[in-house]
Structures are given as structure tokens and as C-alpha cells.
Structure 1
Amino acid sequence: MFNTKTLAEVMEEVCLKYKDREALVFPKKKETYTFTRLIEESNAYAKGLLALGVKKGDHMAILALNSPEWVILELAAARIGAVLVCLNTASTKSELFYVLKQSECSLIFLTKGFKDISFLDNLTELCPMLNICEPGKLQSAELPCLKTVVLMDDSELKGAYNLNEVKELGKSIGKSYFIEAGRKVTAKEPLNIFYTSGTTGNPKGVVLSHFAAVNNALVSGERMEYDEDDRILLCLPLFHVIGFILSTFAGLFFGASIVVEERFETKKALSLITKENCTVFNGVPSMFQFMLSSDLSGHDLSSLSKGFIAGACCSNELMGRIIEELGIGTIANLYGQTEAIGITQISSYDEAEYRLHSIGRPLPGVEIKVIDIASGEEVSIGEKGELLVKSTYIMSGYYRNQEATDRTLDQEGWLHTGDLVSVNSEGFIYIEGRIKDIIIRGGENISPAEIENVLKRHEGIFDAAVISVPDELLGEEICAFVISAAGYISNAEEIREYASHHLARFKIPKYIKFVKEFPVTSSGKIKKAVLREQIKNEFAQVLNREPAVMVKL
């Protein structure tokens, strides 16, 4: 039933099948990659990596917006058994440092950056030797594993290669050596590391194998009914599994064309659907909200027929509007976690009632059970409890974090999702709430503990507690309860400015509430449930409150 080939092997078969059909379309640069060109380019870069000394099991990071090169480099790494570490483009310098060090990356691909976020400046500030060293010979006391930097655009840096140089170096690699390198890679070995926030603060590196990624993409793509006539608009970031595995490769495996957009921008997305005759749009709820809030009269969206919503719960009202106003008749709720990729998904043949209200049934290869939070016993049909998952596509573990792995996967191999669900007699699952403390803002998982740790380092803050508050557009927003340090008068702008140097933008609290004390348990733990209840009544009137009581950032 399951495919036992590596990602590179599966894609080689796909490319031989579809040959001159469009695989990747990049409107920004007016570039098109056929399936034949896609495999040729990825093999050329794989040889270049071998020439740079990259070996099976080596970790390589990538920090860039979506592009064809991103996909090609993934295939190149997969071909020789290197592990691609996918970095969030919103990462600050301190976040970049943590992930590069924790993941033990020896090589990083990156672009200059976008808007006012400079990937290159952040990296050179961490590794000043890049300004004077020779390419491939970086020596950094702070990042001892990192040796090689490759620029993916027209940026220049003395201590870095560019992509063309990597391809040129690859010409020295013989065919037999290249083939032998590929033969050593097996499907059970690591393909990627994706970093995800957790309740303990620091992000955790989720290790996914070729087997998990390939097979999850196949079953998800089959349930989405992707085919060679589909054109999928990719606005979801490739550094997330929903963009990388469940959109890009799930589509490519079935011969679909991927229209690559660097990042989601409402007007561009609507324009590309029209110009490129896109049939599929996958997104998080906020993306659909932004599109529906725009003037749709100037856009021909008649080509759209299917798509999925992932990353956060979607309201019944939003689902209805997507069908009626965007014309996406086959819209699928998709539920998953980085640790298990896609877990449940609606099918096109499911009744409208289920497609509108549930997150579908488990994908093939996924087993579920629902347990009572207090007793741990399995609940009856229709009763609420925590969703546990045992999956063929489960992670290999958190990289260099066995303690966190053991907390997430129990001794029987069940993944504790932290989500409260109910299941009906036909096996359809309904989200009822969330046990975990994680905030999901616009599809991004955000750790309150991570934000709290940053805020508490500010000299004017004695203590901080972060919770979620409802948001119509993004699903949830971040609210920080702050106790000011003795003799210090904190203000929201100062806190915001401080946080911006240590946290990605989407992690900065939108709301800050100054309080004198927190409700605590007998053991001194903050009762966040009480904080949520306190804010519940206030939040409806928050915009009418004085800034001293509730500050909107």
C-alpha cells in the first residue's frame, strides 16, 4: 500500500511520466520549469552539493521566500540524502541563531531578504567572518558547524557562493559517483527538519522522513483529486508542511502545475488566479478572509474549483462564503500537525454537511482515538475528549530533544495533539476546542512561553503572561498581561519596540494589559484560564477602553 521510495526517486518517475508538461511556473520572473527541466536542474544542484563536500545525513538550511529554486534544492538534497532544515522567513537574528545552532547546519542557502527583513544582514552579524573568509571556509565560534553559505539571488558576499557557482562545481562530479550517492539513501531516513513552537518556549525541530513526506503527500493529493489539469496557486510558505508537502509535492505527484508566488498578498493572489487559470487555492482561514474582503468584481475566478483550509479552525460562515463567493465548490478542511503532517481531511465526495462542519475522517495510514482528559479512558461516540493519533507519517522525533519527544509521543506511539474533539458514528471528526496553550494566529503556531521569556527580560517588566484572544480575521491574536517592575512605568510602544528585536513580527502581542498581579495556583502557577475569563468580558469593548487599561498595538 505504501510507497517505499525516496522523494527523489518518486519525483524522477513523475518527471519521466509528465516530461514536457509544466511543473513549476514562476510569474514574477516569467519562468517555467517542465517536469524534465525540474529533474535535470535538481540533479545538477545535487552534484554541486557533492562537490561542496555535502554528505548523506548533513544538515542544510534554507531561508528564502517561495521560489522554484527552493523546490529544486529540496530535490537536490533528497537525491544525496542531505537533510533540508526549513527556516521561517519571519525569523529574527536571535531565532536564526538558535535554529542554526540547534540543528547543527553545515550549509545555508539564503536570499537577501524582503521588505525590511534582511536575512543576509542577520547572518553576517552572527558570522562577521563571512565578510573576509573564502567561500566554504567559514569558521565561527558561535556556529561551529556552519561552514558554507550559498546566495540564491544576485546578492554578493565575499565568504559565500552563488547558485551558478554551485552548479559549475557539480560538473566535476562523475556519473557513477552521483548514482552511487543516490543509492545509499533510503526512504526511512530523514528528509526535512521543520521547526515548530511548543509550550516550553524554544522551537522544536520536527524530523520527517522521506517515507512520511512522500506517502502523506500521496494520500492527501489523492483525496484532493489532484490531476494533470490542475494548476495550484502556491502562496502558503514552503517552510511549512502545508505548503511544502500537502500543496507542492501532493500536486506534483499527480502531474499538477504549481504556480509559485513568493508570499501571500491578496491582490497578487487574485490576479494570478485570473491570469494563470488556477484551479486550486490552498490557504489558512485568514488568506480566504482577506480575499473575501477585497473587491472581486475585477477578477475572473471561474477557473477555481478546489482547495483546502488548514492551519486553524474555519468557521461555518467562512466555509459558506468560500463556496458561494469564490466559487470553490470542493473546499476541504484539512487538519494536521507538523509532527504528523496531514491527519484528517475532507473528501470531494463527502456530503456538504460534513464538508462545512467537520475536519473530515483520518487519512489512510492514520489511526485515532479520543480520550477523557481527566481519566485517560477512551470516550464514547459523540463525547468530547483529547484527540490522539497513531500515524504512518509520524515524525521520527524532535531533533536533539528526546525529553520533548517523550512528552509528545507516549510509550505506545500515540501522538497527543492537545486538541479537544468529538467523533460521530460515521467517523467524521469535529474540533471542539484546544487543550494546548499554543496560539494559532493566521495559521502560525505561536508559543506563549517563548513570548513571555522575551518580555520578562525587559528591565521594566516584572512578570508577563501571554494568552490568545479571538480575532475575526486571523482566528486568534496575542494578548500579554504585564506586571511592571517596581518603580518603572512601562508603556506599550516601548514593549513593542523591545519585542521586535527578539521576536518575529507575528509573535509580537497585539494587545497589552497592565495588571498588578496574576491569579495563581497554590504551587505558584499562573491560572491562564482565569485570565482568559477576565478578558472575555472586556474584549468586546476593548476599543472603547482607555489605553492605560488595555492597549491595542
Structure 2
Amino acid sequence: MANGAARFGAGPKTVGGTLVAAANLHGEAPALVFDGVRSNWRDLLAEVREMARRLVGAGVARGEHIGVLMPNCRDYVVLYYATQLVGARAVLLNSRYRPDDLAYVIPKADIDVLFVGGHAREHCDYRPMLEEALPGIAQALPLAGAPRLRSIYELGDTREGPWPQLAELDERAAGISPDEVDRRAAEVEPDDVGLMIFSSGTTSRPKACMLTHRSLTDSGEALAERFRLGPEDVVWDPLPLFHMSTILPLAACRAAGACFIGMSHFDADGAMDLLIRERPTVHYAGFPTIVGALVQHPRFPEYDQSRLRINHVVGPPDLLRRYAASFPGAVPVNSYGLTEATGVVCYSPLDDPPELLFETNGRVFDGTGVSIRDAGNRELPDGEPGEICLSGFQIFAGYYEDEDANRKAVDDAGRLHTGDLGRIGPGGRLVYEGRLKDMLKIGGENVAAVEIEGFLMRHPAIAMAQVVGVPDERLMEVAAAFIECAPGETVAEAEVIRHCLGQIASYKIPRYVRFVSDWPMSATKIQKFVLRRDFVPTGRIDLAAFRAAEDAG
């Protein structure tokens, strides 16, 4: 056990406190495998404390908002933990955001200091995006469009550029003693907000969900208990670090002393190499697109699954049964959750019989309440569908600076109204049946239809746009855009896609475009259910092929 970790006074119900506890209890055990680098718990804590010194040296104060705009990488994990140690709020920005998205979220979240990652700049260079989103950002701060943003730092970028990099952070850290980091960590309270993640609602723009150290810690402990994690476990999770689908498993690994294996980005070849080499005990792949890529890979038969005991993937029952056959020694675990409830509120119990594993989303954690309610907020009996409402320790601390949205989301009894349709099924398990809200869930990302519609209608030739979610084998759901041109105007499908490319996140770009002149109407509203019902899945747009053709000129 490292003496420094033993003296470190971080609270037990804080993110930093659980990291310290893991270092104390499991110091030499593997903690993190990322970017080809392995760390044990003791060394990971030491690296996080060093990054925390840099943050303090850069003037980061308790409660300040630290934006993280980086691809998946080891630096991301270290930076996230360091923000939590010093009592700042980590604002994790979707790495697929584009200029239009960034121009909104950076000022909306009142980001004080922004960290930008150049680790994947050959695929995604944030420098020009930020300049387009907030003109002048490379010259001087603050800006009228982002008045709280006072500094930007780049990590993982060897090019000369407009913003200071790691060397300057090291200079700033030189005058900060480790004791100062310890003091700052000891001041963090469990009910302090530690994390802000944007989640789309029914309005035109995403909202910043605030999560406390306590909810993050307790939810991680609940996941570790449900999965029966221990120091011998190795959790493979290739999902984005800006999402609760990694933040929650990281919390569970801290609680149990398990090892977390991440990926800079998912690709089937790299994933198969990693799985064959590391032989994890838990797959936290989450989505059918990832699991499907694995089982169809030519090297899949080489994968020794003898240590694999849990395969977490969500999807319809028939698909879960198919994947279960490909991982015969692992329990197929389903789940349900949302960012506003600290990621996930229920997983399948490992001892459930097959009919419950495949047909339900699992049992909610102890301490989390679930009720199914009708439009009048009256509780419905088991088996009857209605809105899923949640209560208890996992409920978020609210949307940042959006009291109107908070009042709509959480009722006077403290119940979170999810906008999702579900029922209480056999064995008291929750069954998710779709969305009440006009939302899409694309590759695991919540997207408001109105957000895409609003962007499409910025095109001068588009008078009206309506977006619905339609099934997709790879992403589970994608956007289909129905477009009415302005009088006297025409626009081609390719022009619609060009309008979106590079301006909004790629997963938001419609994969189907339909042109209409008449809309199915009720008395006053377009009937989207008719658009969805009558949709025929022909002419899917291959975005990668479209980009390649555009680049070829």
C-alpha cells in the first residue's frame, strides 16, 4: 500500500475517495488498460494526483466547470479523475460534436477551462471546429459568446498551436505541493456536483445533466454488487468516455478493484486482438452494432471465452437470444437507464432464468424506486404500460440553469418522469417498450427530433422538416427526414447531406431523406406516427461512401 494513498483524506462517498480506497486496498492489482499502457491502482492514483496538481496550478477552483473535448484515450480517464479530486465539475463533451453543437454547449455549460485532445487529429481536428464555432477563440479569451471561458489547454497534440499544452501545465504545477491536492480532495462533499453530461430532451437543444459524487459512487457500488465484481475481474468497455456507459463501469471498477479496459475507438479488428489477448471476464459492449461486429469477425473462433461470465448488451429479445448463443458461457445481461438517473437503474440479475433475461430489462437497484404512471400521474398496476417514473438515490441533481426543464422532469413527489414507455413485468422486472417523447436513440445516443429538424430548416430551400426514428441493423435506430421544399425551390438528397456534414454530429445526420408536398395531419399537428408507419426502408444513405465520393470530387 502506498503511504501517500493511505494519508490521502478524500471522502468515501466521492469519486476521488473511491479511487483512493481502491489504491489502498488493491494497490498492485491492475486498474486500467488503455492505449497500450497498463497501470495498477497505486500508479494510477499517483498519475491522477499529478494531473490534479496541474489543475490547481492552472487556477482551477472548487466548483468550476472543466470542459473535456477529447477522443477516447488514457489522458481522458486521468483528467476526469483529477477534476473530481480537486472538486471541479467535469463537463464531458461529446467527441462527435461539430461546430454548431460546440457553439451551443460551451457557453450553455459555462465552461471555465477547456481541455482539447489532439490524440486523433488525423480523423477529428478540434482546432478549426472551435474557431468556426466561436470565432476568435484562438486569439483571445474570454469571448462575448463564451464569457466564462478563460483558458484552453491541449493534450496529445505535438503541433504548435494557439493554446498551451502539457509543458505549461507542468510549469504551473511546479509551485503546487501534493499536500494542497490532498487538502482540496478532503473538501469535496458527497453531494457536490462532480459531473455534467449533455442529454437531449424534447426541446431543440440538449440539456446539461448534473450528477453528484454520491450518486456516481452509490450507482457504481450497485453495479459492482449486481455484477458480483471483484479484483479478479477484467471489464472490457469500448464505449465513449463522454457517456455514462463508461463512467458508470469505471465507478464499479473502483468499488470492486476490478480492471477497466477501454479503447480509443471501436473497430472489430482491434477489438478482436484485444479480447484474444486480455480475455476479459465482463463485456460491457452495450449495443448490438458492436456485438454483431465481433461475432461476424473471422477471428471470433480464436477467442477463448473461458473466463467470460457476463455479456452486457441491450436489444429486442430475439436478437439477445441470438447473441447469447455466440457467448454460451456468459450470462446475457440487459438493462435500462438514462443520464438523468446516473446512467442505468436496472440490470438483469445474474441468476434470472432465460425468459427473464431475454424478455425484461432487469430489476432496479435497491434504493431506486420505479412506478408506471398514466398521463394523470396515477400509478398503474403491474403489466399495464405507462410512463416509467423513477425515484431514489440515482436521480440527478437537475439540469444546469434550466428550472423550467427541472419542473417538467421531476414532480413534487421527487419522481423523475423519464418520458419512456414501460411496464412492470414478470418477477417485478422492468420492461422498456419505447419512448413517449419525440426522441431518437441512435447508437445509444439520445437525440431530439426537433434538434435535427431545426438544423435542416436552416437550409434556405427547406420550408418544413420532420424527423422520425426508423429501425437500423447497425445503429438500432437512425433518423429519417421528411422534407417539404420552399415554394419555387428544389433541393436534392445529396445537398441535404452536404448541409449536415461537418456541422452536426455524424450520428444525427439522416440516413433516409424523403420529399413530400402533403403532410398527414390531425386538426393542427403533423401525425408523425403515420410517417413512421408508412415508411419503407429503401435508399439508405451510406455516410462513409458519401464522404468518400465527395472527397474524390
Match for residue 493 of structure 1? 494
Q: CA deviation at 1:449?
A: 0.4
1:186-335 counterparts in 2 under 5 A?
186-245=189-248, 247-283=249-285, 284-297=287-300, 299-303=302-306, 305-307=308-310, 309=312, 313-327=314-328, 329-335=330-336
Q: How far off is 1:472 after superposition?
A: 2.6
Give, in whole Å, the separation in 2 of the partners of 1:107 and 1:85.
10
Shift of 1:303: 4.3
2:210 is matched by which residue type in structure 1?
Answer: V
Structure 2 match to 1:550: none
In 1, distance between residues paired with 2:85 and 2:394? 20
What amino acid maps onto 1:369 in structure 2?
Answer: S
In the TM superposition, what are the counterparts of 1:61-72 in structure 2 within 5 Å? 61-72=67-78
The letter of the residue matching 1:186 is: E
How many Å separate the matches in 1 of 2:349 and 2:81?
29
**Following superposition of structure 1 onto structure 2, how do residues 134-173 of structure 1 map, counting pairs within 5 Å?**
138-173=141-176
- Residues 9-24 of structure 1: matches in 2 within 5 Å? 9-24=17-32
CA contact (8 A) 1:322 1:328 kept: no
**RMSD across aligned C-alpha pairs, in angstroms?**
2.1
- 1:361 counterpart residue number: 363
Counterpart for residue 174 of structure 1: 177
**CA 1:280–1:515 in 2, change beyond 3 Å: closer, same or farther?**
same
* Distance in 2 separating the partners of 1:158 and 1:288: 39
Counterpart of 1:548? none
Change (3 A) 1:269 1:294: same
Tell me the CA shift for residue 543 of structure 1.
5.0
| Superposition deviation, residue 164 in structure 1 | 4.3
Map Cα deviations across residues 204-226 of structure 1 (whole Å, 9 max, x no partner): 00000000111101101210111
Work out whether 1:343 is the aligned partner of 2:312: no
Matches within 5 A, 1:341-490: 341-373=343-375, 375-424=376-425, 426-490=427-491
Contact 2:53 2:178 in 1 (8 A): no
Whether contact under 8 Å (2:346, 2:364) holds in the other structure is: yes
Q: Answer whether contact 1:129 1:159 (CA < 8 A) is retained.
A: no
CA distance in 2, matches of 1:309, 1:286: 13
Query: Once the two structures are superposed, what CA deviation does each residue of 1:108-146 show, in whole Å capped at 9, x if it has no partner?
Result: 11212445422122124445656556xxxx332322211
Task: Please say if residues 49 and 178 of structure 2, whose CA atoms lie closer than 8 Å, have aligned partners that are also in contact.
Answer: no
Q: Write the distance in 2 (CA, Å) between the matches of 1:164 and 1:331.
A: 46
- Quote the residue 2:6 is aligned against: none
Separation in structure 2 between the aligned mates of residue 132 and residue 437 of structure 1, nearest angstrom: 40
Deviations 1:292-343 (Å, cap 9, x if unpaired)? Answer: 2322445314245244546xx5122222232221345122112110000221
* Contact 1:111–1:120 (Cα < 8 Å) also in 2: no
How far the C-alpha of 1:487 sits from its partner, in A, is 1.1
Q: With structure 1 as the length reference, what TM-score do the two structures score?
A: 0.91
| Structure 2 equivalent of residue 53 of structure 1 | 59
Residue 544 (structure 2) pairs with residue 532 (structure 1): no
Q: CA deviation at 1:157?
A: 4.3
Distance in 2, Cα, partners of 1:291 & 1:317: 18
Q: Is the 8 A contact 1:231 1:278 kept in 2?
A: yes
Change (3 A) 1:110 1:415: same
Question: TM (normalized to structure 2)?
Answer: 0.91
Unaligned runs of 5+ in 1: 545-552
3-state SS, counterpart of residue 264 of structure 1: coil
Shift of 1:176: 4.1
Is the 8 Å Cα contact of residues 279 and 308 (structure 2) preserved in structure 1? no
C-alpha separation in 2, matches of 1:234 and 1:87: 19
Shift of 1:395: 0.8
SS at the partner of 1:73?
A: helix
Using the alignment, how far apart are the partners of 2:167 and 2:325 within structure 1?
47
Unaligned segments of structure 2, at least 5 residues? 1-10, 541-548
Rounded Cα–Cα distance in structure 2 between residues aligned with 1:534 and 1:128: 44
Deviation, 1:344, is: 1.2
**Counterpart Cα distance in 1 of 2:405 and 2:299:** 46
Pairwise CA distance, 1:365:
1.5
Residues 187-235 of structure 1: CA deviation (Å, up to 9, x unaligned): 1001110001121110100000000111101101210111111112221
CA deviation after TM superposition for structure 1 residue 255, in Å: 1.3
The answer to whether structure 1 residue 81 and structure 2 residue 82 are counterparts is no
Aligned to 1:530, the other structure's residue is in SS state helix
Amino acid at match of 1:58: E
- Contact 1:130-1:159 at 8 Å conserved across structures: no
For residue 285 of structure 1, report the CA deviation from its aligned partner.
Answer: 2.2
Q: 1:123 aligns with which of 108, 130, 139?
A: 130
Between the aligned partners of 1:285 and 1:8, the Cα distance in structure 2 is: 33
Shift in Å, 1:262? 0.6
Distance in structure 2 (CA, Å) of the matches to 1:163 and 1:253: 30
Take 1:115 and 1:432, find their aligned partners in 2: how far apart are those partners?
Answer: 40
Alignment partners' CA distance in 2, 1:467 and 1:309: 28
Range with greater deviation from structure 2 (117-126 or 80-89): 117-126
The sequence identity of aligned pairs, in percent, is: 27
User: Structure 1 stretch 102-111 or stretch 112-121: which is displaced more?
Assistant: 112-121
- Which range moved further: 58-67 or 207-216? 58-67
Cα shift at 1:169: 2.2
Which residue identity lines up with residue 123 of structure 1 in the other structure? L
Letter in 1 for 2:359: H
**Contact 1:463/1:483 (<8 A) preserved:** yes
Structure 1 distance, partners of 2:374, 2:223, is: 29
> CA shift at 1:418, angstroms?
1.8
Q: 2: CA distance between counterparts of 1:295 and 1:250?
A: 32
Q: 1 CA distance for matches of 2:406 and 2:160?
A: 39
Distance 2:167 2:229 in 1: 34
CA distance in structure 2 between the aligned counterparts of 1:45 and 1:61, rounded to whole angstroms:
15
> 2:235 touches 2:260 (CA, 8 Å); kept in 1?
yes
Deviation per CA, 1:506-526: give whole Å up to 9, x if none: 00000011110222332x322
CA distance in 2, matches of 1:328, 1:531: 42
Separation of aligned partners in 2, 1:517 and 1:425:
44
Aligned residue for 1:92? 98
Of 476-485 and 279-288, deviating more is 279-288
Paired residues, number: 528
How big is the shift at 1:372?
A: 2.5
Indicate which of 7, 11, 14 corresponds to 2:15: 7
Distance of 1:345 and 1:446 partners within structure 2? 23
